Amino acid sequence: MTARWRSRALLLGFWVLPALVATLGFRVVPSRYNPTLSLWGIFLSQLLIWGAWGVWSLVIVAVSDRVPLERGRLLAAIAAHLPLSVVVIGAQIVVTAKVSAGFSLIARPPVPLHLDSVLAIGLRSYGDLLIVVYVAVVGAHAAFRWHARWREETLRAERLNADLAHASLQALQAQLNPHFLFNALNAIVTLIGRDRDAAERTTVRLAELLRATLAAGAEHECTLAEEQGLTARYLEIESVRFADRLHVRWEIPAELRAAIVPTFALQPLVENAIRHGIAQRAGPGTIEIAAHAERDVLHLSVRDDGVGLGAPPLGEGAGIALANLRARLERLYGSAAALTLRPRSDGPGTEADVRLPLRSADP
């Protein structure tokens, strides 16, 4: 059954409810003209009276669909419903009179009444109620249409926001990969003139890193263990370039290795620490990569003992990686994530801290 026919069936079935209520009323206070009428007879009479409204409702809904009660079409809707309401209310008065007389719920007139008399008595007795019922049907239909339109617009806006966020993330990821590749190739070019063997080893490790990056696909998130593996491959390349000047210390607990993090969350922080910290030192330097959890928050930190934040940036592309990471964090987690860059409190150097919602890939 389609949604349209299901809604029509529900509309017809709705009128069983007032029929049941009316049956209960006649059961509590029986009709003085036919007090011995059985419960089934009472229910059948009320079902015929209120069931007629089910038929009228279908007609009203069909007209309301063609001429909806909405801004810009109010006059047309009123012009359509005024004559229809006269016909529906008149027909309902006739149905009510015939059924009531057939089940002896009202006094039988000594002579059959003409149609105009039946209509006049019905309007006087319960015409106001019929008008209220008609208006209620029209109003309920308009409310359902407004609600359906509101839901449709809400879903459309959600889909649009999701599409925009996905497109933005794809663009940021596409920007990140060439940026990293450029830096790695630049390191290889630097090595070619002074150490061809180191340049060859770096090229091989770059190929391995690119394969690992492609294997990650277009996913925007991965486990912390996978991110650690990608970052370790990147550091292998930088270790060839800096030789004994670069020392790396990892402090990632085993229980956090299944935590979900953005893909390439650590690599930009490590790159920033190398370029703006270690590369500007005269002697060797150390990078500390750590992770710890505070309740439902995951912290990723990269610290270096370089020259600190006051040093001038190196190269034209300085800051691209961190700006990229900040934008991806905002699009993935909103205000629940943040990237903070500050001087180290325990000595020279810089500390980068990423705050994320703590989620695990484990069931």
**What would the pLDDT profile of 232-257 be if each residue is shown by its tens digit?**
888 887 787 777 888 999 999 999 99
Please tell me the distance from the alpha carbon of residue 135 to that of residue 235, in angstroms, as a whole number. Answer: 74
pLDDT tens across 304-319, in order?
988 777 654 444 444 6
The domain limits of the chain are 3-156, 195-357
The answer regarding whether domain 195-357 maps to CATH 3.30.565.10 reads yes
In terms of DSSP bridges, do strands 285-294 and 246-251 run parallel, antiparallel, or are they unpaired? parallel
Per DSSP, the residues of 62-86 read HHHHHS-SSTT-HHHHHHHHHHHHH
**Which pair of structure tokens corresponds to residue 159?**
């889909």
**In the prediction, which pLDDT does 316 show?**
43
The pairing of strands 285-294 and 260-262 is unpaired
Mean pLDDT: which of 103-107, 327-331, 355-359 is highest?
A: 355-359
pLDDT averaged over every residue in the chain:
82
**In what helix (H) or strand (E) does residue 8 lie, and over which residues does it extend?**
helix 3-14
Residue 337: per-residue pLDDT: 93
Q: Between residues 73 and 184, which one has the greater pLDDT?
A: 73
The pLDDT value recorded for residue 251 is 95
Q: Is 298 helix (H, G, I), strand (E, B) or coil?
A: strand
Asked if 20 contacts 86 with a C-beta cutoff of 8 angstroms, the reply is no
Residue 13: predicted pLDDT: 82
> Is residue 38 a contact partner of residue 103, using CB atoms and an 8 Å limit?
no
CA atoms within 13 A on the CB side of 266: 29
Rounded mean pLDDT, 8-30: 86
pLDDT in tens, 341-353: 898 888 788 999 9
Q: Which of 16, 19, 11, 129 is nearest to 64 (CA)?
A: 11
The β-bridge partners of 247 are 286
Entry pTM? 0.51
List Cβ neighbours of 213 (8 Å cut-off, separation of 6 or more).
177, 230
